[in-house]
Structure formats: structure tokens, C-alpha cells
Amino acid sequence: GRIFPIFARKCPCSFSFLPWFLMNPIGQFTVVSPDKPIWANFGEDTELHCFLAPRTNAENMEIRWFRSNDSSLVHLYREGKDQEAEQMPKFRGRTTLVKNAIVDGNIVLRIHKVRVSDAGNYTCQFQSDKHLDAATCELYVTSK
């Protein structure tokens, strides 16, 4: 006979999610950034995007943007707030982390008054209690 006849009759669930669940343990995510480079005009503001897949609330994560070539800190979000004192001096006061969609794991780093020296690769890193991942995007700066 059946061990759990009530469960078998009343549960409208499907266990088709089981393979996905086994491959993606709770708390794990992948950081995704645009494949194509971002072009910015000298002196204007630009935005660097990255997001989490699957959509994951990032409010309680550490989010770190840094220059890929030398790991210089561009922007740090930790313990629910921006940590401007730890920024590289040349970026201090020139970055804003746009957090309107942070609950969906969508983050935008806005760099104000872009300089030629801002061109290069940037890494966006998310760290939770259980997992860390990062993605890189490239910024080109042109004159008008």
C-alpha cells in the first residue's frame, strides 16, 4: 500500500523543480553584466549595470565595484549603506549606487563627470553570507 495516501491525493505540486534545486543550492547566484562595452562621453555621467541571476534580494549583501586591473575600490556598499570613506580618492564624491531595484538584485553604478582615466574594466562583486560571485564590464571614454 501507499505510505502517504493523503499527501499523494491532495498535493498539486510538481517535483520538476527538483533538478534545478539540486544544481542551484539556496543562496547561490551568478552576477551578470553587459557583454558589450559601455561608451561614455568625457565630462558626462555614465552607468555601469550588473544584476543577479536568479533574481535575489541584495539589500544585505556586500556589493563592491572595483577596477579590474589593480583592484582599486570604486564603490562599496556594505551593511545596508554606501561606504564612501573606503573609496579610491579619484572616485570619492563621483559615484552613486542606484539601488531602486536592489531587492531584485539589480544594481547600477553611476559615475559622474567621467574622466579619460576612468576608461577600463570594472568588476561588480556581490557577496552574501554563503556565496560570492563577480562579473566584469568595460568602459570606453570618448570626447564629444
Phi, psi of 93, deg, nearest 5: 80, 0
pLDDT band at 143 (very low <50, low <70, confident <90, very high): confident
pLDDT band at 13 (very low <50, low <70, confident <90, very high): very low
Q: Give the C-alpha separation, 49 to 58, whole Å.
A: 14
Q: Give the C-alpha separation, 93 to 87, whole Å.
A: 9
Q: What is the pLDDT of residue 26?
A: 59
The three grid cell numbers given for residue 136, joined into one nine-digit string: 566584469
- Alpha helices per DSSP H over the chain: 5-10, 18-23
Indicate if the pLDDT at residue 2 is higher than 50.
no
CATH superfamily entry for domain 30-142: Immunoglobulins (2.60.40.10)
pLDDT in tens, 73-118: 999 999 999 999 999 999 999 999 999 999 999 999 999 999 999 9
Q: Give the C-alpha separation, 133 to 126, whole Å.
A: 6
Phi, psi of 76, deg, nearest 5: -130, 130
Cis peptide bond prior to 54, omega within 30° of 0: yes
pLDDT in tens, 116-127: 999 999 999 999
Q: What is the pLDDT of residue 80?
A: 93
Q: Give the C-alpha separation, 128 to 125, whole Å.
A: 10
pLDDT in tens, 37-84: 999 999 999 999 999 999 999 999 999 999 988 889 999 999 999 999
